[in-house]
Amino acid sequence: MAQQRASFGSKFGIIMAAAGSAVGLGNIWRFPIETGNNGGAAFLLVYMVAVVLLGVPLMLAEFFIGRYAHTNTAHAYKKLSSHPLWSNIGFIGVLGGSIILCYYVVVAGWVMKYFFLSVDGTLTSLYQPGNAANYESLFGNFVSNPWSPLLYMLVFVLTCHFAIASGVQKGIEKLSKIFMPALFVILVVLVIFSLFAPGAQAGLKFLFYPDFSKLTTSAMLSAISQAFYSLSLCMGCLCTYASYFGKDVNMVRSAVSISVIDALVAVMAGLIIFPAVFSSGIDPQSGPSLAFIALPAAFQSAFESVPIVSYVVSMLFYALLVLAALTSAMSLYEVPTAYIHERWNISRKTATMVVTAVCLLLGTVCSLSMGVLGDMKLFGKNFFDLCDYFTTTWMMPMSGILIAIFVGWVVKREIFINEVTNGGTLRPTGANIMLFLLRWIAPVLVLASFLAVLGVL
């Protein structure tokens, strides 16, 4: 098996694929929502600290395990320990990554639909000054309709399916090398447009001028879980991708670069969204519907005097979301695909088909839970919210604590340093700093936030 294993073809491809996993709906959709709900700049600050103290070391820990073990996530941990507590960490990733995938494809389907609605001019034509009611009913009718969201989800899932079935280099790497630079270009164009929106200063102030009175414990926790989500941590994606890395990749440098790219995209998304939101007088705390109700209205109103600009801006924005969602979904797809492919020794194409079938089935339940299955609730949540809650509130932090303790304390220090310094050819400073963070900072911070969520602390 090992001799035939897939690999990435270039270092640029590795950064684009891993950054593609990190940069997703989490940066452009979830980050502005969280920032809006938690008071803006102060949240951004804690988020940045969480990225540095938790994000980079945990990303490196996953890279280390993946490249060292050279196999799928579920088996990777077994190569470093036979104790059931540690050897099964990888299964949390396979399970969690698969659950996230099932609701991620639903939102990605909505995003695709909105891209088409912006291209055919519907979003522009529905605009009524000072009133988002049209967008509200558009979105409400769309998500509660049983068929239409399913159709878009199907298109999105099939796109991922063909990308993954094409292989690591020909599918994931090739597409990431095209999509990520395209995404950057769109981002820059949108930031420039947005900064010229009338009244953009209020949005900038909201994003960059911290008001520490808004910094509640729950805001700090949200910042930590946002950092986890946004960097694709602890769900097996980075570990699986690292199993395709070459032995000459500088993993510390890669983890830093990817985290910087991810944070930069989140800030740029904030720079696009908040000026438009403030200049149109919309409440930045409008929650998950922000991207589908408040934003279409905000884009139209911010550029009311030049309708062609609002048309182009909303089209580019949804194109951006589609690209970002695709590269992240591919990384989520790859986790169970690699596992099934190697565990049962079946072809990559067949493994992808199994993942697609499960994803379509559970994705359908997620999608329908926004409408006809809305009354089917567990712990007061519909299936869609339950998948999100269970993975981000429970599985991610739990797996984060385990990974930090495992790499920091259980794995022999020499093994970690040797792998991360590429057999002693790189300077060990970075590896040592990361090991320190993994030992002393990450477990404590994540555990504290986890206990606080449970109301114990």
* Interface residue list for ligand PHE (CB under 6 A): 21-22, 24-27, 97, 100, 229-230, 232, 235, 237, 328, 331-332
Contacts of residue 191, defined as CB under 8 A and 6 or more positions apart, other chains included, come to 268, 271, 272
Is residue 324 within 8 Å of residue 22, measured between CB atoms?
no
CB nearer to ligand PHE: pick between 207 and 323? 323
CB nearer to ligand PHE: pick between 261 and 431? 261
Is the C-alpha dihedral spanning 179, 180, 182, 187 positive or negative?
A: positive
In the complex, what is the shortest distance from the CB of residue 300 to ligand PHE, in angstroms, rounded to a whole number?
Answer: 26
In the complex, what is the shortest distance from the CB of residue 66 to ligand PHE, in angstroms, rounded to a whole number?
Answer: 14
**Quick one: angle between helices 307-343 and 174-195, nearest 10?**
150
3-state secondary structure of 381: strand
Instruction: Please give the Cα distance from 71 to 60 (Å, whole number).
Output: 17
CB nearer to ligand PHE: pick between 100 and 219? 100
CA distances from 401 to 72, 140, 226, 319 (A): 20, 38, 16, 36
Instruction: Please give the Cα distance from 449 to 254 (Å, whole number).
Output: 27
CB nearer to ligand PHE: pick between 22 and 387? 22
Structure tokens at 299: 């884009």
Rounded to the nearest 10°, the torsion over CA 306, 309, 315, 318 is: -100
In the complex, what is the shortest distance from the CB of residue 440 to ligand PHE, in angstroms, rounded to a whole number?
Answer: 25
CB nearer to ligand PHE: pick between 92 and 297? 92
In the complex, what is the shortest distance from the CB of residue 27 to ligand PHE, in angstroms, rounded to a whole number?
Answer: 5
CB nearer to ligand PHE: pick between 232 and 254? 232
In the complex, what is the shortest distance from the CB of residue 233 to ligand PHE, in angstroms, rounded to a whole number?
Answer: 7
In the complex, what is the shortest distance from the CB of residue 426 to ligand PHE, in angstroms, rounded to a whole number?
Answer: 27
Please report, in angstroms and rounded to a whole number, the separation of the first and last CA atoms in the chain: 47
